[in-house]
Chains A and B, each alone.
Chain A
């Protein structure tokens, strides 16, 4: 029913911006609009980070204690009691902590980004901006947490006299992969959270489930070969295997078919997440 007439000049002679508002219009210059709001994104990311670390001691301590305690427990359960093998000669705590970094990055983005809409309902109802900025800015907090955890991991490596090797230089690429892999589902859940307010009860369950089905406390090489490809379709498997490949100095081998599968699933989820989010983004202010 829309008569969609494309306006030729976006700016007039005087350089003034002309904005046209009509149903379905927001779609057409979505990415350019997003770029125009980059400064708001930076400031919201800064807000989230600075609020989290406002009480510096507690903020940093929390970022450190959470993975460390989980690491100790997993080392005892999977390494000592279940006697699962490590990757090559890697000390078990390092194996667990390197997986833990990847998992915490993934799960905090998923958790925080998906609740960011509800948490900022007030902003959404009062101010226009591309809504995707909100989940994106919470992802920055997860990256800062990751940086702190990396320091902890390096300290642990120093303690064991373990050298990560040259592959660590490729870590940023895998961090980017982790962000993409988590951001897709996060957007999907963020939109569902706005639409169905009780959806948030499902997420903690999913995350807890994910912690055990993903190879956080053990190496993915313990999965029988016949199942390994299907197991790797879980994008978190790709993320964790990638992190270990970078960090464990050649002790960990990347299972290529599985890794490619992980990437494909992550890419599909990212596309689905962005598409779904964009579809509902326009009505967020009406329902939130």
Chain B
């Protein structure tokens, strides 16, 4: 390993065995099924010796490569983001780096103490007090007892739970719980820190505090690998970024460039159609003068649904939601027969948007269930929606064009 490289992945691959056996989605095998399968095969062989081994039903085991041929290097003190769609292999990559699971192919060399934070509050026990959980969680994250004792006061102050130190955490509010959990994690001092989407918990105030803490960490020359869906946080924290797509590294470079690429790849089109069996068959979004029109075709809803609701969210260039609405919010939601499916048309009359690209999420459901949800499935290029001589720059002022009036009065 050359001088300053602290993580080097070399042809890294990870395969999972996926079984398509009867019973479907269960991740584990039941002994009962294995025995029954063995018995069936034995019976089959007796009954049908000509077909021999081909009778065996377990050919339905399939290899799924969550990571394939991943190569990258991270230097000491670098803060690198990892982005990609759900299922792109981000979590698998972090799990391999944290040694939770073994690579199937290739190798990784890690130089220095690595701690991983894949979840806030791993191992917290509800019956134990805050104080006890600090020690437990600290040890689980890889701190020594001496280290925890040294940082104890700092952790407690950061979490703002002084008064409840000797209360079992099951009595904590969810906010306190998260604060305590994050406080422990934030005081980890490994040489390399691997962080999964953990900033999405907690209130905005605390998130800000955590971002600050993360920045401190990276400022101290520590290496951080950071997975997030929050593109703004990504830009804030990580100068460089890895884009994963179906287990491959699609891009590795300056965060701004990689995020743009990601957004382009993620929702290249303003229309999308879905395979047979999906509730929604197709979605199209387009700009019609100063309006946005979204249309979707859907097939039969479950028979007990009488108010099929459809909702949307419009996101800005960084993936942050701008606004959303759904048909259930109307004063008199339209009743519709759902047996044969149908066509829904959403007309967004406002607010007007500045030129740029936007992402759209679509959801279908009623008060009780979500029957369909596809976050950020469409991309829409908006241009000249606003009848104005000057275009403000979306990057600088935000995306929504406000309706304003200005009045000046000369002083006498």
Binding site for B on A (CB under 8 A): 12, 16-26, 39-40, 43-44, 47, 50-51, 54, 122-129, 192, 194-199, 282-283, 285-288
Contacts and interface: CB of A to CB of B under 8 A. Distances in A.
A140 to B, nearest CB: 15
A134 B119 CA distance: 19
Contacts of B97: 21
Contact of B103 (A16, A23, A126): A23
Contacts of A24: 102
A47 B32 contact: no
Interface of A is mostly: helix
Contacts of A194: 28
Interface residues of B, number: 46
A121 B45 CA distance: 38
A43 B34 contact: no
Given A20-B107, A195-B29, 6 more contacts: A19-B109, A21-B97, A22-B106, A26-B99, A192-B31, A288-B28
A54 B128 CA distance: 8
B125 to A, nearest CB: 6
A196 B30 contact: yes
B122 A196 contact: no
B100 A39 contact: no
9 interchain residue pairs of minimum CB distance: A196-B31, A128-B99, A22-B107, A43-B139, A21-B108, A197-B28, A126-B122, A19-B110, A198-B30
Interface of B: 1, 16, 27-32, 34, 95-114, 116, 118-119, 122-123, 125, 127-128, 132, 135-136, 139-141, 144-145, 191
A122 B323 CA distance: 35
A155 to B, nearest CB: 30
A17 B112 contact: yes
B100 A22 contact: no
A126 B125 contact: no
Contacts of A287: 27-28
26 contacts: A17-B113, A19-B109, A20-B108, A20-B110, A21-B99, A21-B103, A23-B102, A23-B104, A23-B105, A26-B99, A26-B102, A40-B140, A43-B145, A47-B132, A51-B128, A124-B100, A125-B100, A126-B100, A127-B100, A127-B122, A128-B98, A194-B28, A196-B29, A197-B29, A283-B101, A285-B100
A20 B30 contact: no
B116 A128 contact: yes
Contacts of A39: 139, 144-145
A266 to B, nearest CB: 25
Contacts of A20: 107-110
Contacts of B103: 21-23
A198 B98 contact: no
A101 to B, nearest CB: 27
A47 B118 contact: no
Contact of A127 (B98, B108, B125, B144): B98
A259 to B, nearest CB: 34
A59 to B, nearest CB: 11
B111 A12 contact: yes
Question: Which of B32, B118, B123 has most A Cβ within 10 Å?
Answer: B123
B31 to A, nearest CB: 4
Contacts of B127: 51, 54
Contacts of B112: 16-17
Contacts of A129: 140
B110 A126 contact: no
Nearest to B196: A126
Contacts of B34: 196
A76 B29 CA distance: 44
Contacts of B128: 47, 50-51, 54
A197 B125 contact: no
A22 to B, nearest CB: 4
